[in-house]
């Protein structure tokens, strides 16, 4: 069900496509939570369900904020239990850090200055020494690390130069172009680090390439491609201005 969440998706995204995606993600979350809570099954055997629960919880586009936050809290608890059972589970480490970061993203708490550093350590642990872009899925841990280095509060771990080095190295990975989010982030990092022309070139190439055929993230790619088109239009009009990276270029 979760792997089929993007079946039949194209550009432009329609209301029906969004409804199918949402229904399949919601069903996945409910089933995974049921399995994760099943006390008659051994803890290690439930880790796959805990991982899937957290991944589905992070697909919260179109969900009311209260519901999304409740699911993220459940995801954090599930992945913490997952790591108690198996501290080497990279997927649980990745999704726990992602859920914690998503909850904090719009309101970094100045009293919790350790959080960005903790998340950075978890994303690097999830990469487990893999070269940038060669980690889980389409380089998800690399993308999370780059986003944190680019957007974290300046008084903690922000390091745009390191973010650019990582994402440009990741661009050589064979599955990098399977996720438009990778290419969009590459363009953003370049523009934010004083390279507007390479940023524009990446956005233009991404739009020209269309939806990739690899991977199961068809819906996410379609949504990111629409965002890429908006970013491109704004940057072409004002190359030196922020097109609204933090707000999907809306």
Give residue limits of the domains in the chain. Answer: 1-107, 117-250
- Per-residue model confidence as pLDDT tens digits over 118-164: 999 999 999 999 999 999 999 999 999 999 999 887 778 999 999 99
CB 135, CB 127: distance < 8 Å: yes
Q: How far apart are CA 182 and CA 47, in angstroms?
A: 27
Q: How far apart are CA 220 and CA 228, in angstroms?
A: 12
pLDDT over 90, % of the chain: 86
Q: How far apart are CA 191 and CA 164, in angstroms?
A: 10
Mean pLDDT of the chain: 94
Can you give the length of the chain in residues? 250
Structure pTM?
Answer: 0.95
Residue 71: its H or E element: helix 65-85
- Per-residue model confidence as pLDDT tens digits over 87-113: 999 999 999 999 999 988 766 666 678
Smallest CA-to-CA distance from 202 within 211, 194, 191 is with 191
Contacts of 65 (CB under 8 A, 6+ apart): none
What's the pLDDT score for residue 209? 97
Confidence check: pLDDT of 174 > 80: yes
What's the pLDDT score for residue 114? 86
Confidence check: pLDDT of 205 > 90: yes
Q: Which two tokens stand for residue 39?
A: 């006390």
CB 97, CB 144: distance < 8 Å: yes
Q: Which two tokens stand for residue 202?
A: 């990446």
Query: CA of 211: how far to CAs of 6, 135, 191, 207, 208, in Å?
Result: 12, 22, 23, 8, 9
**pLDDT band, residue 82 (cuts 50/70/90):** very high
- Please, what sign has the CA dihedral across residues 170, 193, 224, 107? positive
**pLDDT band, residue 16 (cuts 50/70/90):** very high
């Amino acid at each position: 069900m979760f792997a089929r969440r993007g079946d039949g998706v194209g550009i432009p995204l329609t209301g029906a496509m969004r409804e199918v995606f949402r229904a399949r993600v919601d069903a996945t979350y409910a089933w995974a939570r049921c399995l994760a809570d099943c006390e008659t099954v051994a803890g290690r055997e439930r880790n796959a369900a805990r991982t899937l629960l957290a991944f589905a919880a992070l697909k919260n586009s179109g969900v009311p904020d209260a519901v999304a936050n409740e699911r993220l809290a459940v995801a954090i608890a599930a992945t913490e239990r997952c790591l108690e059972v198996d501290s080497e589970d990279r997927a649980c480490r990745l999704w726990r850090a992602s859920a914690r970061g998503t909850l904090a993203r719009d309101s970094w708490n100045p009293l919790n200055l350790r959080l960005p550093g903790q998340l950075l350590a978890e994303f690097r642990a999830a990469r487990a020494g893999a070269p940038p872009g060669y980690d889980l899925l389409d380089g998800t841990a690399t993308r999370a690390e780059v986003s944190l280095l680019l957007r974290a509060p300046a008084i903690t771990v922000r390091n745009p130069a390191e973010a650019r080095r990582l994402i440009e190295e990741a661009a050589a990975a064979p599955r990098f172009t399977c996720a438009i989010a990778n290419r969009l982030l590459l363009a953003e990092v370049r523009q934010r680090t004083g390279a507007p022309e390479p940023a524009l070139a990446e956005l233009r190439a991404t739009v020209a390439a269309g939806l990739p055929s690899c991977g199961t993230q068809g819906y996410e790619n379609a949504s990111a491609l629409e965002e890429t088109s908006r970013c491109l239009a704004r940057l072409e009009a004002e190359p030196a201005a922020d097109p609204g990276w933090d707000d999907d270029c809306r």
